[in-house]
């Protein structure tokens, strides 16, 4: 482990030292001391194929041998076209155009700007406002951060972008609101959007943005049944675009290629990243509906947004190779099967644990809610620094998991997120639960 003070790398956690990763071996990462870590978090729901997939690596090498970079101001590329074709063939609704970026925050930035520009193009410049949800995460760039609803992340940078607001209750936090049927809760939560639209004036709102399954901030919380159908209906009634952020929950993670397929709805704009490149290359994408694309094409003809590395050929080549492995019915069935096994093993081991309040999630995207008291659901005192302690203890035992604090309100409440590679087997499931215990 290097001395953090000697390293010239600017880490996010300046007070903690981390091991040096030198090699990947399937579901494991090996450090410079030869210690092996079972990757039960996929980094942060990224490494859906594990760490040394020879076919993905070969696809990147082959592309680098042909051409590594061709600026999209001048060219498109074969892998970008191939990846866009694959995504659109499988995308829900009328999503029909793919805008490539380098990661999740960039995908969300692109979506927010596309929504705003769409209304400019069709002569509705007053539709500028974006509505999002509390206890969500959409990325760390200023626009994406402004959409995100984690108070602890937002506070240091306030005032954030003023044309964004957030709705409560977050349907996602039903764990603390029992006594109401799931369906009733979903309707009540969706109606918070209706109320916010009425408050703002629906004709001023461009888009509503949400994660289908809430990842980092809440720990794999699934929507109440019917919530998204009602959200879709409210957006349609008021001409508001629906942006779904599938950066974490998309690309097969929940057992369907797009998480929203399981909600029976399609967005106007979708954001994907993480599992798209599976960690082999940095890549993300924004998928837009034909109607939105047509408005730009028929209007100014120029999307006022772009980054140097968009559509990077080597990144897209990785994306094609990853897509071909994760998108087939056998792999998606495997995610559901292994997800079921991991869920069962977690329930078996932690179902009665005095400090585990809830076990939840979908596919290989699972979360444990940690509480001081199972009955009252009282969270731990933030002074415990529980998330950091769990992470450290897990790493000492050779386990990568993704603990987070702030589940309740950005500060209080703790959970552990698990998002292992889709290639885990029964032995890995046992190891994850043992080491976590
Ligand atoms: N949206 C969601 C739902 C995410 O989980 C994340 C990353 N955790 C992002 C956006 C931002 O992605 P990136 O870190 O690649 O910028």
Q: Is residue 13 part of a domain?
A: no
Judgement on whether residues 150 and 293 belong to the same structural domain of the protein: yes
How many angstroms separate the CA atoms of 27 and 425, rounded?
Answer: 10
> Looking at 163-210, which runs of residues are DSSP E strands?
164-167, 205-210
Ligand 1, atom nearest to 136 Cα = 3
Do 199 and 88 reside in the same domain of the chain? yes
Q: Of 311, 326, 341, which closes a domain?
A: 326
Ligand 1 and 104: CB distance under 6 A = yes
In this structure, are 257 and 282 located in the same domain?
yes
Residue 249 resides in a domain: yes
Distance, CA 216 to ligand 1 centroid (Å)? 8
Verify that 168 and 191 share a domain, yes or no: yes
Q: Which atom of ligand 1 is nearest to the CA of 103?
A: 15
| CB of 275 shorter than 6 A to ligand 1 | no
Q: What is this structure's pTM?
A: 0.97
pLDDT of residue 320: 98
Flag whether 1 is in a domain.
no
ipTM: 0.99
CA 132 / ligand 1 centre spacing (Å): 15
Q: Sign of torsion, CA 272 275 276 280?
A: positive
The residue ranges of DSSP E strands in 7-94, in sequence order, are 21-25, 28-31, 36-39
Question: Would strands 269-272 and 284-289 be described as parallel, antiparallel, or unpaired?
Answer: antiparallel
Tally Cβ neighbours within 10 Å of residue 101. Answer: 28
Identify the pLDDT of residue 1. Answer: 59
Q: Quick check: CB of 137 below 6 Å from ligand 1? A: yes
Say if residue 149 is in the same domain as residue 244.
yes
- Indicate which CATH number applies to the domain containing 67: 3.40.640.10
The 10s digit of each residue's pLDDT in 174-210 is 787 777 888 888 898 999 999 999 999 999 999 999 9
Residue 404 has phi, psi (to 5 degrees) of: -140, 145
Asked whether residue 32 falls in the same domain as residue 146, the answer is: no
11 within some domain: no
Q: Output the CA 79–ligand 1 centroid distance in Å.
A: 23
- Which among 248, 275, 277 is the best mutation to test ligand 1's pocket, defined by most ligand atoms within 8 Å of the CB? 248
pLDDT of 235 reads 98
Domain's final residue, options 281, 311, 326:
326
The rounded Å distance from CA 48 to ligand 1 centre is 15
The reply to whether 153 and 279 lie within a common domain is yes
Determine whether the shortest distance from the Cβ of 44 to ligand 1 is under 6 A.
Answer: yes
Q: Is 245 in the pocket of ligand 1 (CB under 6 A)?
A: yes
Which residue has the CA at smallest separation from atom 6 of ligand 1? Answer: 139
* Amino acid 179: pLDDT: 78
The HSE-up count of residue 18 (CA atoms within 13 Å, CB side) is 15
- The answer on 156 and 257 residing in a single domain is yes
Partnered with residue 244 across adjacent β-strands are 210, 270
Pair 134, 150 in one domain: yes
In a domain, 400, yes or no: yes
Mean per-residue pLDDT over the chain, rounded: 95
Q: Evaluate whether residue 2 is within a structural domain.
A: no
CA of 285 to the centre of ligand 1 (A): 12
Is the Cβ atom of 216 under 6 angstroms away from ligand 1? Answer: yes
Which residue is closest in CA terms to ligand 1's atom 15? 104
Of 47-51, 54-58, 175-179, 342-346, the least confident: 175-179
Taking alpha carbons only, the member of 218, 244, 245 closest to residue 135 is 218
In this structure, the answer to whether residues 226 and 80 fall within a common structural domain is yes
Number of domains in the chain: 2
Q: Ligand 1, atom 7: nearest CA belongs to which residue?
A: 139
Pairing relation of β-strands 129-133 and 36-39? unpaired
Same domain for 62 and 48, yes or no, is no
Whether 10 is covered by a domain: the verdict is no
* Whether the predicted pLDDT of 15 surpasses 90: no
Ramachandran region, residue 99 (left: φ > 0; alpha: ψ -120 to 50; beta: rest): beta
What are the start-end ranges of the E strands in 283-391? 284-289, 356-362, 365-370
**Ligand 1 within 6 A of CB of 247:** yes
105 in contact with ligand 1, CB cutoff 6 A: yes
Among protein residues, the one whose CA lies closest to atom 12 of ligand 1: 104
In sequence order, what are the residues at sequence separation of 6 or more whose Cβ sits closer than 8 angstroms to the Cβ of residue 422? 48, 49, 252, 326, 331, 334, 335, 338, 364
Sign of CA dihedral 289, 290, 292, 297: positive
CB 103 less than 6 A from any atom of ligand 1: yes
Residue 373 sits in a domain whose CATH number is: 3.90.1150.10
pLDDT at 118: 98
Atom of ligand 1 nearest to the CA of 282: 15
Ligand 1 geometric centre to CA of 137 (Å)? 7
Whether residue 15 is contained in a domain is answered as no
What is the band of 401 on the pLDDT scale with cuts at 50, 70, 90?
very high
- Answer whether residue 239 shows pLDDT above 90: yes
Q: From ligand 1's centre to the CA of 103, what distance in Å?
A: 7
The per-residue pLDDT for range 241-300, each reduced to its tens digit, is 999 999 999 999 999 999 999 999 999 999 999 999 999 999 999 999 999 999 999 999
Residue located nearest, by CA, to atom 14 of ligand 1: 104
Query: Do residue 123 and residue 264 come from a single domain?
Result: yes
Structural domain span for residue 408: 21-52+329-436
Residue 7 CB coordination number (10 Å): 12
- Of the candidates 286, 309, 326, which is a domain's last residue? 326
Provide the 3-class DSSP secondary structure of residue 39. Answer: strand
């Amino acid at each position: 482990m290097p001395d953090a003070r000697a390293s010239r790398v600017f880490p996010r956690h300046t007070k903690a030292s981390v091991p040096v990763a030198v090699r990947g071996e399937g579901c494991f990462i090996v450090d410079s001391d030869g210690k092996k870590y079972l990757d039960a978090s996929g980094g942060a729901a990224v490494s859906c194929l594990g760490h040394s997939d020879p076919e993905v690596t070969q696809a990147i090498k082959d592309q680098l041998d042909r051409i590594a970079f061709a600026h999209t101001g001048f060219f498109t590329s074969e892998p970008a076209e191939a990846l866009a074709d694959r995504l659109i063939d499988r995308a829900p609704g009328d999503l029909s155009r793919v805008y490539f970026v380098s990661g999740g925050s960039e995908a969300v930035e692109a979506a927010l700007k596309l929504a705003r520009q769409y209304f400019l193009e069709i002569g509705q410049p007053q539709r500028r406002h974006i509505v999002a949800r509390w206890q969500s995460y959409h990325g760390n760039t200023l626009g994406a951060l402004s959409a995100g609803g984690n108070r602890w992340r937002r506070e240091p940078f306030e005032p954030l972008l003023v044309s964004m607001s957030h709705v409560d209750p977050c349907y996602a936090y039903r764990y603390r609101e029992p006594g109401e049927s799931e369906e009733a809760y979903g309707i009540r939560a969706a109606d918070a959007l209706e109320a916010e639209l009425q408050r703002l004036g629906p004709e001023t709102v461009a888009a509503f943005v949400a994660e289908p399954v809430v990842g980092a901030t809440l720990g794999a919380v699934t929507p109440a049944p019917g919530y998204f159908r009602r959200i879709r209906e409210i957006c349609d009634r008021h001409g508001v675009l629906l942006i779904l952020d599938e950066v974490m929950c998309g690309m097969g993670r929940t057992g369907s290629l797009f998480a929203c397929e399981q909600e029976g709805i399609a967005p106007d704009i979708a954001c994907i990243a993480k599992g798209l490149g599976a960690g082999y290359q940095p890549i993300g994408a924004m998928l837009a509906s034909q109607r939105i694309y047509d408005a730009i094409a028929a209007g100014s003809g120029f999307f006022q947004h772009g980054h140097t590395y968009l559509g990077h050929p080597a990144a897209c080549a990785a994306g094609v190779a990853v897509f071909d492995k994760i998108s087939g019915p056998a792999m998606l069935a495997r995610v559901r099967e292994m997800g079921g096994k991991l869920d069962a093993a977690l329930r078996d081991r932690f179902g009665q644990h005095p400090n585990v309040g809830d076990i939840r999630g979908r596919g290989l995207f699972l979360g444990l809610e940690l509480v001081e008291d199972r009955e009252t659901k009282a969270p731990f005192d933030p002074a415990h620094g529980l998330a950091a302690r769990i992470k450290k203890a897990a790493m000492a035992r050779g386990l990568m998991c993704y603990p987070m604090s702030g589940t309740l309100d950005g500060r209080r409440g703790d959970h552990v997120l698990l998002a292992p590679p889709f290639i885990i087997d029964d032995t890995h499931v046992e190891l994850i639960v043992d080491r976590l215990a």
